[in-house]
Amino acid sequence: MDRTAKPEALQGLIEKFEDRTARVGILGLGYVGIPLAIAIAREGFPVLGFDILKERTEQINRGESPIKHFSDEDIAEILAAGFEATTEFNRSGECDALIICVPTPLYGSREPDLSFVRATMDVIAPHFRAGQLLSLESTTWPGTTREVLLPYVEGAGRMAGEDFFLVYSPEREDPGNSEFTTRTIPKVAGGLTENCLAAGLALYSAFVDTVVSVSSTEAAELVKLVENIYRAVNIGLANEMKIVADAMALDIFEVIDAAKTKPFGFDAYYPGPGIGGHCIPVDPFYLTWKAREFGIHTRFIELAGEINASMPQYVVDKLVEALNAAGKPLNGARVLVLGVAYKRDMDDMRESPSVLVMERLRDRGADVDYSDPNVPVFPAMRSHRFDLASVELTAENIARYDAVMLLTDHSDFDYELIRRNSAVLVDTRGKFHRDGGVVRA
Amino acid sequence: MDRTAKPEALQGLIEKFEDRTARVGILGLGYVGIPLAIAIAREGFPVLGFDILKERTEQINRGESPIKHFSDEDIAEILAAGFEATTEFNRSGECDALIICVPTPLYGSREPDLSFVRATMDVIAPHFRAGQLLSLESTTWPGTTREVLLPYVEGAGRMAGEDFFLVYSPEREDPGNSEFTTRTIPKVAGGLTENCLAAGLALYSAFVDTVVSVSSTEAAELVKLVENIYRAVNIGLANEMKIVADAMALDIFEVIDAAKTKPFGFDAYYPGPGIGGHCIPVDPFYLTWKAREFGIHTRFIELAGEINASMPQYVVDKLVEALNAAGKPLNGARVLVLGVAYKRDMDDMRESPSVLVMERLRDRGADVDYSDPNVPVFPAMRSHRFDLASVELTAENIARYDAVMLLTDHSDFDYELIRRNSAVLVDTRGKFHRDGGVVRA
């Protein structure tokens, strides 16, 4: 291919990215879309944000950050630079680049739920025009961009790689990671054609230091899954090692901390009460589902899923044992759960194992409360309901419970206060020494 | 415990370590014992090396290194400093510290074979004396030091922690790793008692920069297993991902290389024709065996073992397909295997998957040769036999084969020469681009 003979549409688009005049549309203003909008707007691009939730777009347009780890100042800054949030998806036609950052969850059957992606495509496709770039950032199975997105794009005289450009570039956001920003996390991109990739590189390299191109959208899709499968499997392995160590009366946290001193060939993952968030419990099964089409059973993913999913029950069993040793049944016991967000120092409760633990405790007759400095009131969730507010952690409050369970190890917790005042203390995060009556779970 | 009131024996031992007068005995002069002997002798200690193989001790005493990645100069240096290798284990009584570095393989049934450890204890126990430190470095199941070694030590008026000191400190040698040395790799140690640990710390901190103490010998034993289980599982996962990617016509090496650009939360492991060496295929099953005693099935270890063990057949199947596409059966085909050592740039053939591949090829009627710059003649092995010498890699030699299989990617190989002259080229290491007729396996 003669690389100098770029089609006119590509040439025009690249120039708009180079001089920062390209209008960029972010579709989905959540944990991925918000930091992306901030990074692109800061680079000087006009950015338009789309979301289906009117409350969210209004909140943002008022200058309020919808996400804990971004400040109102961050939002005010991009509003001042011309950013606007809207629910009017027909305005997508105004944009030169469209980046889809909508959720890709699982159905209850653990099959991919691409409904948010499809719904987005349904509302924006009528407004596609020549010269646009469309990038999907949502995690998904290898083949999605070509099989699901391309049919929306082609037709009406449009051809991918000639007058419309289609790329897949997986998000790598790590909420709460202060070491890296959207700019400094290398970004992987794959294009449907070489011209598509060229358009994608022109967009992303404008605001990301390192863009890593791969040979196809499918390769880029698999990259993201492999990253998260690695995490799911290693957390599963840590959980299995916890079970073994516990049976041998050894402290798995001590063992992992010592193993971590090996300066090569070991990466520390820790056990916990289960896995949460929108990625690790979900993404791996996108590959499991697609692999089935090829007659392949993804056994590591299944095993990790099974072991990780068994952890909420495992830690509940440990609590039952600990209460039993104190002569009490779980039924009727007052239990205080510490930490309901799925991750340390976050307020995000998606797929949080704490919620699963609380439900199990409640189902077995316990009187459950929680304390979480980042979640003052238990929020409305799709399939969980608790009418609770966070209990303030005072010596007196802690002492009123038959048992305290540490599930998410926020750094705001006063661990010494907790240790001194808990009647029974079950620790799923290795924050307390095993001696002193603390039960490891 | 009053830490100042050290028993006299401990005090005396610590002083000998501090002034480098302690005589240190290394039991087993192999991949672990040789670098250890060098590091300790360099620190100024008188070192005595024990091995059951007379040829090996004579070779060393002549100034010849028995291991490729240590030079004759290394050996000459420690001989000049007073080092001596001997087969006379009764001389162990001369030593203040004894470090056991013998192999801990598996029986065919995948059960721990501790016979080398027991045989060593049998011959040295009669010469134990008050004031000695005994350290086990061989990888083994949690409980070995206490259950197997301690009974040899105690009795005859000796008591561990009072007049005899017993520790477990796992070796972390990584042959061929030029970034780290015995001194700079942090060393984990656990003692049978607090005094035992104190003695161990005094020895190891004399020649290792960072010694990490853990609370028991069992914890230290599990640390080493967790490190190697992590590797076995992640290589197994990479092999499973290879199978999935291959079915989807994607290049797993491209995918892993792109995933590796994520600056956190991902550690790259690569697929291959199986796993080799004395650690990764063996050690995890020490935990599997011991966990059974506690009613626990180590599922990640079993799955990794199964997938990794299936890889030699997987790559043979790929060769059969490739030959078939060229209209040839494997039976009667001339096949050249590149790399028989288990690891890049090493000469170590222990558990090498290349040998398993060669056997499968031979069993199915292929005429097999090999080329390996580090293994000029196929050595005598316990359960494998090939009367072969390494084929020189010339254009003419390569062209004489129906197929060439890259199994170990030594850096000495001329990959361009190989690519240009191979009729059929099967690449298990991702060294060649997929295009150009190269078959990935």
**In B156-183, which positions are buried (b, 16+ CB within 10 angstroms) versus exposed (e)?**
eebebbbbbbbbbbbbbbbbeeeeeebe
Band of residue A1 on the pLDDT scale cut at 50, 70, 90: very low
Mean pLDDT score of chain B, rounded to an integer? 95
DSSP for B9-68, please give it. Answer: HHHHHHHHHHTT---EEEE--STTHHHHHHHHHHTT--EEEE-S-HHHHHHHHTT--SST
d(CA A117, CA A52) in angstroms, rounded, equals 12
Concatenating the DSSP letter of every residue in A226-269 gives HHHHHHHHHHHHHHHHHHHHHHTT--HHHHHHHHTTSSSS----
Which among A183, A215, A247 is the end of a domain? A215
Both structure tokens of B284: 């995890």
Closest partner residue to A240 (CB to CB) among B216, B223, B299 is B299
* Closest chain A residue by Cα to residue B267: A267
What are the φ/ψ torsions at residue A406 (nearest 5 degrees)?
A: -85, 115
- The crossing angle, in degrees rounded to 10, of helices B284-292 and B299-325 is 130
- Containing A324, the helix (H) or strand (E) segment is helix A299-325
Residue A204 in tokens: 């992303």
CA–CA separation, A425 vs A440, rounded Å? 9
Banded pLDDT at A155 (limits 50, 70, 90)? confident
* A175 to chain B, closest Cα gap in Å: 12
Positive or negative, the CA dihedral A224, A225, A226, A228 is positive
Low-confidence winner among A2-6, A288-292, B57-61, B287-291 (lowest mean pLDDT): A2-6
Nearest chain A residue (CA) to B212? A258
Chain A residues whose CB is inside 8 A of the B264 CB are 174, 177, 179-180
Give the tens place of pLDDT for each residue, B279-290: 888 999 999 999
Q: Which of B215, B143, B135, B195 is nearest to B170 (CA)?
A: B135
Q: Among A181, A215, A249, which residue terminates a domain?
A: A215
Q: Using alpha carbons, select from B184, B152, B24 the residue that is nearest to residue B99.
A: B24
pLDDT band per the 50, 70, 90 thresholds, residue A355: very high
Residues A347/A341, Cβ–Cβ less than 8 Å:
yes
**pLDDT score of A340 more than 70:** yes
Q: Residue B233 domain-assigned?
A: no
Mutate which of B228, B246, B248 to disrupt the A interface (most A C-beta within 10 Å)?
B248
Phi, psi of A23 (to 5 degrees): -85, 130
Same domain, A262 and A344: yes
CB B39 within 8 A of CB B77: no
**CA-CA distances (angstroms) from residue B356 to B162, B335, B368?**
50, 14, 12
Instruction: Based on the fold, state whether residues A311 and A207 are members of the same structural domain.
Output: no
pLDDT at position A5, please? Answer: 65
Task: Give the CATH number for residue A315.
Answer: 3.40.50.720
Q: Which helix (H) or strand (E) holds B8?
A: helix B8-18
Residue range A272-298: mean pLDDT, rounded:
93
Instruction: State the Cα–Cα distance between residues A134 and A196, nearest whole angstrom.
Output: 9
C-beta separation of A86 from A53 below 8 A: no
H/E segment holding residue A24: strand A24-27
Residue B1 CB-density burial (10 A; 0-12 exposed, 13-18 middle, 19+ buried): exposed
Range of the domain at B159: 8-218
Instruction: Determine the average pLDDT of the residues in A364-390.
Output: 94
Tell me the per-residue pLDDT of A36-52, one tens digit each, with 9 for 90 and over. 999 999 999 999 999 99
How many CB pairs lie under 8 A apart between chains A and B? Answer: 175
Q: Are residues A330 and A196 in the same domain?
A: no
Of B230, B254, B265, the CB nearest to A174: B265
Answer yes or no: do A26 and A94 share one domain.
yes
Q: What chain B residue is nearest to A180 in terms of C-alpha separation?
A: B263
C-alpha–C-alpha distance, residues A222 and B162, integer Å: 58
Per the CB < 8 Å rule, is B254 touching A307?
no
CA pair distance B163, B154, nearest whole angstrom? 10
Residue B94 DSSP label = G
CA-based nearest residue in chain B for residue A178? B264
Q: Are residues B419 and B356 in the same domain?
A: yes
pLDDT-derived band at B270, boundaries 50, 70, 90: very high
Contacts of A236 in chain B (CB under 8 A): 300
Q: What is the pLDDT of residue B123?
A: 97
Residue A39's alpha-carbon distances to A24, A42, A77, B114, in angstroms, are 11, 5, 11, 59
Q: Which two tokens stand for residue A39?
A: 């990074």
At B241, list the tokens.
């991902």
Name every chain B residue with its beta carbon within 8 A of the beta carbon of A185: 262-263
With respect to residue B276, please indicate whether it lies within any of the assigned structural domains.
yes
For the stretch A398-429, pLDDT in tens is: 999 999 999 999 999 999 999 999 999 999 99
Residue A110 CB contacts under 8 Å (≥ 6 apart), including other chains: A285, A288, A289, A305
Distance CA A389, CA A238 (A): 32
Residues contacting B192, CB < 8 A, separation 6+: B145, B146, B150, B160, B161, B165, B166, B167, B216, B217
- Give B380 or A277, the one with higher predicted confidence: B380
Is residue B223 one of the residues assigned to a domain? no
**Distance between CA atoms of residues B274 and B281, nearest Å:** 9
Per-residue model confidence (pLDDT) at position B399: 97
Q: How many domains does chain A have?
A: 2
Active site residue B279: yes
Strands (E), A349-397: 367-371
pLDDT band at B1 (very low <50, low <70, confident <90, very high): very low
Q: Which residues of B touch A178 (CB under 8 A)?
A: none
Residues A412 and A268 in one domain: yes
Share above pLDDT 70 across residues of chain A, in percent, rounded to a whole number = 99
Q: Which two tokens stand for residue B32?
A: 């672990």
CB distance A248–B218 less than 8 Å? yes
Query: Three-class SS of residue A292?
Result: helix
Closest CA–CA distance from residue B165 to any residue of chain A (Å): 22
Residues of B in contact with A197 (CB under 8 A): none
Chain segment A220-264, per-residue pLDDT in tens: 999 999 999 999 999 999 999 999 999 999 999 999 999 999 999
Residue A121: what are its φ and ψ, rounded to 5°? -60, -40
Q: Are residues B134 and B270 in the same domain?
A: no
**Is A1 inside a domain boundary?**
no
A247 shares a domain with A210? no
- Residue B133 and residue B274 in one domain: no
Q: φ, ψ for residue B105 (rounded to 5)? A: -85, -170
What is the model's pLDDT at position B4? 55
- Could you give the CA distance from residue B238 to residue B153 in angstroms, rounded to a whole number? 44
Measure in Å the smallest separation between the Cα of A223 and chain B Cα atoms: 5
The predicted structure's pLDDT at residue A374:
93
Q: pLDDT for B408-430, tens place per residue? A: 999 999 999 999 999 999 999 99
User: What is the Cα–Cα distance from A239 to B139, expressed in whole angstroms?
Assistant: 22
A211 plus A266 within the same structural domain: no
Residue B2 has pLDDT above 70, yes or no: no
Pairing of strands B164-168, B132-136: parallel
In a domain, B1, yes or no: no
In a domain, A220, yes or no: no
The answer on pLDDT for A307 being more than 90 is yes
**Residues of A with Cβ-Cβ distance to B188 under 8 angstroms:** 258-259, 261
Separation of alpha carbons A61 and B225, rounded Å:
54
Model confidence pLDDT, tens digit, residues B76-90? 999 999 999 999 999
Is pLDDT of A4 > 60?
no
Mean pLDDT (chain A, rounded): 95
Tell me if B203 is assigned to some domain.
yes
Nearest CB to B230; choose among A188, A236, A237: A237
A283 and A414 within one domain: yes
Contact B262/A296, CB-based, under 8 Å? Answer: no
Contact B247, A291 (CB under 8 A): yes
Characterize B360-383 residue by residue with b for buried, 16 or more Cβ atoms within 10 angstroms of its Cβ, and e for exposed: bbeeeebebbbbbbbbeebeeeee
Q: What is the pTM of this model?
A: 0.95
Q: What is the pLDDT of residues B303-355, one digit of tens each?
A: 999 999 999 999 999 999 999 999 999 999 999 999 999 999 988 888 899 99
The residue among B216 and A438 whose pLDDT is bigger is B216
Instruction: State whether A222 and B255 contact (CB < 8 Å).
Output: yes
pLDDT given at position A273 = 97
Contact assessment for residue A81 and residue A20, using Cβ atoms and an 8 Å cutoff: no
Pair A313, A197 in one domain: no
The helix (H) or strand (E) run that includes residue A56 is helix A54-61
Predicted confidence at residue B285, as pLDDT, reads 96
The C-alpha atoms of residue A243 and residue A307 are separated, in whole angstroms, by: 10
pLDDT at B277 over 90: no
CB-nearest partner of B240 from A188, A231, A298: A298
* B226 inside domain: no
The gap from C-alpha A49 to its chain's centroid, in whole angstroms, comes to 20
